[in-house]
Structure 1
Amino acid sequence: MKRLLFLVFMAVLLGSCASCTKNTVTSESNNNTNPTGSKMKIKIGNSTFTATLYNNATATAFKSLLPLTVSMIELNGNEKYVDLSRNLPTNASNPGTIQNGDLMLYGSSTLVLFYKTFSTAYSYTNLGRIDDVKGLVAALGAGNVNVSFELE
């Protein structure tokens, strides 16, 4: 009987320790969408947009790549993407709805700039978002486009 009580006690103890570890990891989430106050300029042709970066490890790593000019590829009539030269830290989750102006990372190295709002089943890591999306669709156009990212 003492053995049985001891085994039950150990199982409860291990279970509670496992949940403590999960809570710690969640609180340090890399998908934090609280703005850091870090501002970035995104230049597309003659248009310049200001974006606010989120407070997470992915955005911090992305800032280390700036300034950066890339040729972004059109995809699905709602986004432009480019594969970065190196992997960034990730903590992907499904946002449910993508918003016009979201800047996200797909996988560990694909930078995606969304220019239409739509529902998604895919998972992304949040980087930031454009503060005012007025004119974004026109600036990005229908095909591939050169885009520059730099800190303000």
Structure 2
Amino acid sequence: MSFIKKFGLIIILGLVSCTAVSGDDSIDDSVKVKINDNVFDVKLENNSATQEFIKELKKGNVTVNASEYGGFEKVGNLGFSLPTSDKNIGTVPGDIVLYQGDKLSLFYGSHSWSYTKIGKIDNVDSNKLKEVLGSGDVTLEFSLK
């Protein structure tokens, strides 16, 4: 094989591999959640649920009216369904999970159950989060940065 053919093949293979790596499946982790007047950054997982969640956020903010549940989380209906990949996980304060495909839970305490992990609030103090969430219903407003 001549030098020019080898060089051309290397260039073509390089372009193909770059295209495959930079496909449209990358996750945009620039999401925030507003709770009352407090805004928190959310670090998303990279899974099919979060990819679909990002598509919904590109249409506009997603508001979840969440209620107290179990003394460790706030849970509310999304208004649409996301794909699930449930695993039995232990949650910690700040975790955001998908439950039954159409509900989001934000944890201020810990719990173990079968969920699809959506993400986690970055650098949040569990006491501050519990204070912000309060004891009653709360509105969670998710948006792209």
TM over 0.5: yes
How many angstroms apart in 2 are the aligned matches of 1:80 and 1:137?
A: 10
Structure 1 residues not aligned, in runs of 5+:
1-34
CA contact (8 A) 2:33 2:41 kept: yes
Equivalent residue for 1:74, pick from 59, 62, 68: 68
CA–CA distance in 2 between the matches of 1:37 and 1:85?
21
Residue 36 of structure 1: how far off its partner (Å)? 4.5
**1:110 deviation in Å?**
1.1
Shift of 1:70: 2.4
Counterpart for residue 124 of structure 1: 115
1:149 aligned to 2:123? Answer: no
Identity %: 37
> 1:71-115 deviations in whole A, cap 9, x for unaligned?
1111011111111222111110001x2111001001111111111
**Deviation string, structure 1 residues 21-51 (Cα, Å, up to 9, x no partner):** xxxxxxxxxxxxxx94612111111111111
> Which of structure 1's runs of 4+ aligned residues deviate more than 2 A?
none
Q: How many aligned residue pairs are there?
A: 115
> Could you tell me how far 1:64 is from its partner in structure 2?
2.1
How far off is 1:144 after superposition? 0.4
State the alpha-carbon separation in 1 of the partners of residues 85 and 54 from structure 2. 17
- Structure 2 match to 1:106: 99
Match for residue 39 of structure 1? Answer: 30
TM-score (structure 1 length as normaliser): 0.71
RMSD: 1.6
Unaligned 5+ segments in structure 2 are 1-25
Q: How far, CA to CA, are the matches of 2:85 and 2:50 in structure 1?
A: 11
